[in-house]
A and B are shown apart, each in its own frame.
Chain A
Amino acid sequence: MDLAFLADCFLRIVPGIPMTLALTALSVSVGLVFACLLAAMRLSGNTLLDWPARLHVFVFRGTPLAIQMFLIYFGLAQFEVVRTSVLWPYLREPFWCAFGALMLNTAAYGSEIVRGGLLAVPCGEVEAARACGMSGFLLFRRIVAPIALRRALPGYGNEIILMVKATSLASMVTLVEVTGLAARIISTTYRVFEAFAVAAAIYLAINFAIARAVAALEWWLSPHLRGAPPPAPDLRLAH
């Protein structure tokens, strides 16, 4: 085992971590907004909103992410309309193309997770809120959203981890992130195992941190699923 080479690999791959994290953070956060939008469209009961949302999920869930990235980065440039459009400054940048593909992808998967969370809100609890005079946004903010969030969080944590790994495809559209830097080392040293093993370890570390963070958030949000609290202090002290 050539520890010196491993250390060298590590130091040369580390500069790619910010790109991996930036792609993940940006696509997951924007994707979540779109996911909520798509879920709302699916649940609206309006065919004109439901249908486009279904189509989006069908297309982005049903085709490989790599091909989506290729289509956006290499494919769209073929068309004059695209090259003259206001979006061109973005669409010619590999970063924005990778971001776009990742974001639209996680929006599709995420919308199903969000929809599942919303559908899992017990209707009795919603009815109780209505019976208390809640409706509209107040009902959503105080009752529906907090319960749906708790139901959706484990699934969504999974999705974030999948996204971290999916960013490795961005190296195929020339972006220099963890996988891209590992590939660069291999092209000069031909030591495939070491370079990719170091890259894999870095992904593992990132995902370990994310999994812990999600678990901590889950723990913090679900005191109602843990044991009962110790006996309350004497009532007279509370007054």
Chain B
Amino acid sequence: MTAAPPALELRGIVKRFGALEVLRGISLAAAEGEVIALLGASGSGKSTLLRCINCLEIPDAGEVIVAGEAIVFRPARGGRVPADRRQVDRIRASLGFVFQSFNLWSHMTVLENVIEAPVHVQKRPRAEAIAEAEALLAKVGIAEKRHHYPAHLSGGQQQRAAIARALAMHPRVLLFDEPTSALDPELVGEVLRVIRGLAAEGRTMLLVTHEMGFARDVASRLVFLDQGRIECEGPPAALFAEPPSERFRAFVARHREEERLRGAG
């Protein structure tokens, strides 16, 4: 009996946009229940890394392994493409992705957004999907908005609906791509509270964020990306107490300064 494979594993992920090498060989594993926060300056490749996991970007090299299953690629003109579209669809359905800009489907109500994939991708009975969606919407605190359209919601409500949409798929891993960066400051808290609750449930999560204090509180591990490489990683308390790298220390100092200025303003 071998130990269960990590919920998510990345091996040597490389991504180029033209001549620009955004990711230069990233390896990372998330054990079941682990909450990993990806930190880094703008352009350090953290969002690209997240998008490589569910093939919204195709990594030029390296492996993506979800619950022991590696995504199979085949060479194509100018790089490579997934060999089996159905495998990618299946793996994507097992990864909940939450976007910076919510990306709710504008022509559907909140409830319809949440049941869309369970009903049409996972072929679950509609009544069951609706019952579950209503419970999820209650959980993220927008049950009374279930018949509203995304345009009728605030950004924080939209993002919470998007989180419910991701949860409805019963994902093995949740991927958050700067979930609060598009929000007005007063709406950030309500979204962070929901994410904090999910972390406390023991869900496996990867979280790209600029909310350093939040990452420090919620994450079991911080991964600091710099120029497409993992500069340092470790438990938040240890990293902040004794920054193992000068770049991380500078990054933290810069952030503290910004937060102090914002606080003063």
Are B107 and A235 neighbours in the complex by a CB distance under 8 Å? no
Chain A residues near B151 (CB, 8 Å)? Answer: 224-225
> Count of A residues near B, CB < 8 Å?
32
Which of the candidate stretches B84-92, B220-228, B257-265 sits at the interface with the other chain? Answer: B84-92
Give the distance in Å from the alpha carbon of A132 to the alpha carbon of B162 in the complex. 11
Q: Is the interface on chain B under 10, 10 to 19, 20 to 34, or 35 or more residues?
A: 35 or more
Give the distance in Å from the alpha carbon of A222 to the alpha carbon of B145 in the complex. 18
Are A136 and B85 neighbours in the complex by a CB distance under 8 Å? yes
Q: Which of B56, B143, B145, B150 is in CB contact (< 8 Å) with A130?
A: B56
Known: A124-B99, A225-B151. A130 touches B144 (CB 8 A): no
Return the CB mask of A129-149 against B: 1 if under 8 Å, else 0: 111111110100011001100
Which of the candidate stretches A169-177, A186-194, A226-234 sits at the interface with the other chain? Answer: A226-234
Are B143 and A235 neighbours in the complex by a CB distance under 8 Å? yes
Return the chain A residue nearest B56 by Cβ. Answer: A127
Flag whether B169 is at the interface (Cβ < 8 A). yes
Are A128 and B147 neighbours in the complex by a CB distance under 8 Å? no
Flag whether B152 is at the interface (Cβ < 8 A). yes
List residues of chain A with CB under 8 Å of any chain B CB.
122, 124-125, 127-136, 138, 142-143, 146-147, 150, 221-225, 227-229, 231-232, 235, 238-239
Q: Which 8 A-B pairs have the closest CB atoms?
A: A133-B93, A224-B149, A128-B103, A132-B117, A228-B152, A131-B97, A124-B103, A133-B89
| Apart from A132-B121, A132-B169: 16 A-B pairs, beta carbons within 8 A | A124-B101, A125-B104, A125-B106, A127-B99, A130-B92, A131-B54, A131-B97, A132-B117, A133-B93, A133-B117, A134-B121, A147-B107, A150-B107, A224-B107, A229-B152, A235-B138
A-B contact pairs, 17 of them (CB 8 A): A125-B103, A125-B106, A129-B105, A130-B56, A131-B56, A131-B92, A131-B95, A131-B97, A131-B99, A132-B116, A133-B92, A133-B169, A135-B85, A136-B85, A147-B106, A224-B106, A227-B152
List residues of chain B with CB under 8 Å of any chain A CB.
54, 56, 85, 88-90, 92-93, 95, 97, 99, 101, 103-107, 116-117, 120-122, 131, 134, 138, 143-152, 162, 165, 169
